[in-house]
Chain A
Amino acid sequence: MADHRKKRLSGLRLGTFGLLAGLLMAAQPALAQRPASQANPLDKSDLGRSKQDPDLKGVPVPVTVTPLDKVPLNKIKVPAGFKVDVYAHSMPGARTMLHGEKGTIFVGSRTIGRVYAITEKDGKREAKIILQGLTSPNGLAMRDGSLYVFAINKVLRYDKIEDNLDKLPEPVDLSAAFNLPGDAQHGWKFVAFGPDGKLYVPVGANCNICEINPATHAHIRRYNPDGTGMEIVARGVRNTVGFDWHPVTKEFWFTDNGRDWAGEDGPEDELNRLPKNMEGAFFGFPYCHANAIADPDIGKPKSCEGVILPAALMGPHAAALGMKFYTGSMFPEKFKNAAFVARHGSWNRSKRFGYDVVVAIPQKNGKAKVEPFMTGLLDQEKNAFLGRPTHVMQMPDGALLVSDELSGVLYRISYPAKVAAR
């Protein structure tokens, strides 16, 4: 474990510009009115222009167990015929889920730095910590018995992991091979193997809004599993924390989080589709957002020229994160090949938004229609929330698991009506 601590690269390397900005701030501190959450001197966020409450801030994630009787299961609403249960609990900070080849469910996290494993033995389900002390190990993928763990600036591969859950093997350190930037901001990962056998790895923008270096940031890459053969598959992507491949067209779809501090109502988050044979296409960041909104703080002429616009808008500051196309046979026909998307919920908005799971149904024109699916965790009247859905995963039986980072639980959504009708 000690090895995780040894090599930490700097998050922000500021050259002359940073120093200059520092001097300016010292000389005229009153002018340096930046939102506290985005004070990176490279960042172009303009608090005054946004007209938003400058005191908006992120939501803390509890690091201790939420007792089962405090989990807001009875508040959750799903469409008629569906049912919700708590599938697994007592995993503070639970986010990304991965179904292992031998049935283990792995769960990644951010702040708390843990990876959990859920196993079943003699009909008893148990969640335990298998890794800790990592920096945001949110990226998990599996191939040929090996678990790939992507933390910020750390890529580890645990071979034959499901045979060794009680005593993990020493990992193979692939950090140097993948050579990813170590930025803390938008540096946590969602990763997955594509139908081409490549490992897809995003690199988020190292700011809220700024001129990123397009060679190193704000794009999605793919690699051979050993970290060689890097290619950029999608450019101008601010920060995706969820993607999947359409079960029929095999096209690559991904969520992308819109920028903050440009108003309460947008630019909205995106669900994007990378059209076939358009690898390397540009999705707009930092110049063009959502349905062709030119960035107000960068102000590049012809901002949206050559930009692929989203398949669907996912709501203002909604934090559309994990997504998965449904291929099971448990749910009604309507959901076949539709994408479930977890919306973590807003922080950069006075009136809270999201905190739910929606379903995006692809249409013939390449766009998608978004409908609510799992709701009830947002109390609009009190402007309060009870959960933060982060990721979705389909189980072998066709049920859908939803992780809630706030309570540290996985919910299981099933459709017993269909079973009953048989």
Chain B
Amino acid sequence: MKNLGVMLLAAALSIGAAADLYAQDVTARVQVCASCHGESGNSNTPLIPSLAGQPEFFLTTQLVLMREQVRPVAAMDGLLTGLDDAVLVSLAEYFAKMPAKKSDEIKDSERMARGKALSDGMRCTSCHGANLSGQEQMPRLAGQRVDYMVAAMKSFRDSTRPGADPLMANVVAGVSDADLQALAEYVSGK
């Protein structure tokens, strides 16, 4: 009887330890992410996107595509190598649950007004959701860093982003740099 108790205790401890290790693992990885993407996934670093509040489906998809170099991102090189799907999903779950904050970049009200008109015409909400908070494979734009979104839209427009879906390339085809800036300031401020 006593032996059984010891065994049960040992089993309970090892399960606890395993779960703990897993938690540490995710926490440790999250810290690696946070060093660039900001505490709780809200970025204050130029050109680094915020992850907080992004749809989980979107984050998982992008992590897998980056890991497998369908979408190579130099700054992410090596960071995802060897991580299995379960780890990527746990990272996506973590950041999807974090509350999104507004980017602290300075926005110009005139440009934002022009951005709104552009956004209405280009129907951003059609895919990114009524509040531009993203859905499924479509990312959250509200609160996102302006400089990151401008760079991303330019790379879609100029076909310098490998592995990208043709959808965004079509949406921003022929749109000027100034208009991309206005769009980004508006959607970020939503």
Contact = CB atoms under 8 A, between A and B. Distances in A.
A375 B72 CA distance: 39
Contact of B159 (A10, A36, A38, A43): A10
B123 A26 contact: no
A125 B86 CA distance: 23
Contact of A18 (B118, B121, B137, B173): B173
B39 to A, nearest CB: 27
25 contacts: A2-B69, A4-B69, A8-B160, A14-B173, A19-B174, A25-B118, A25-B122, A29-B122, A30-B121, A33-B121, A33-B123, A34-B121, A35-B126, A36-B126, A36-B127, A37-B127, A38-B170, A62-B57, A112-B64, A112-B65, A113-B68, A132-B70, A184-B159, A184-B165, A185-B170
A36 B163 contact: no
A370 interface: no
Interface stretch (A52-60, A100-108, A397-405): A52-60
Interface of A: 1-2, 4-5, 8-12, 14, 18-19, 21-23, 25-26, 29-41, 43, 54-55, 57-58, 60, 62-65, 111-114, 132-135, 183-185, 187
A26 B27 CA distance: 45
B5 interface: no
B174 A29 contact: no
Given A10-B159, A133-B70, A184-B164, A39 B64 contact: no
B61 interface: yes
B78 interface: no
A41 B65 contact: no
A29 B120 CA distance: 8
Given A22-B175, A34-B122, A60-B57, A12 B68 contact: no
Interface in B145-177: 158-160, 162-167, 169-176
A18 B174 contact: yes
Interface residues of B, number: 43
B173 A39 contact: yes
Contacts, number: 137
B179 interface: yes
Contact of A5 (B72, B122, B171, B176): B72
Nearest to B165: A184
Chain A contact surface mostly = loop
A22 B176 contact: yes
A1 to B, nearest CB: 6
Given A5-B69, A12-B170, A41-B174, A54 B123 contact: yes
A64 B172 CA distance: 29
Interface string B102-119: 000000000000100110
Contact of A63 (B65, B122, B172): B65
Contacts of A18: 173-174
A67 B65 CA distance: 20
B42 interface: no
Contacts of B170: 12, 37-40, 43, 185
Nearest to A22: B174
Contacts of B40: none
B89 interface: yes
B60 interface: yes
Given A34-B122, A55-B126, A60-B137, A12 B169 contact: yes
Nearest to A32: B121
Contact of A114 (B68, B123, B127): B68
Given A22-B176, A54-B123, A184 B166 contact: yes
Contacts of B166: 11, 183-185, 187
A64 B92 CA distance: 12
B127 A57 contact: yes
A179 to B, nearest CB: 18
Interface string B75-95: 000000000010011000000
Given A25-B121, A25-B179, A30-B117, A41 B173 contact: yes
Contacts of A112: 64-65, 68, 70
A8 B162 contact: yes
Nearest to B67: A132
B127 A135 contact: no
Nearest to A186: B166
Given A4-B69, A25-B118, A36-B171, 13 more contacts: A12-B159, A22-B174, A33-B123, A34-B123, A36-B124, A39-B170, A40-B170, A111-B65, A112-B64, A112-B70, A184-B159, A184-B165, A184-B169
A58 B159 contact: no
A395 B158 CA distance: 44
A64 B171 contact: no
Pick the most buried of B117, B122, B136, B163: most chain A CB atoms within 10 A of its CB.
Answer: B163
B165 A36 contact: no
A58 B171 CA distance: 14
A105 B179 CA distance: 48
A111 to B, nearest CB: 8
A94 to B, nearest CB: 15
Pick the most buried of B120, B165, B178: most chain A CB atoms within 10 A of its CB.
Answer: B165
A41 B122 CA distance: 11
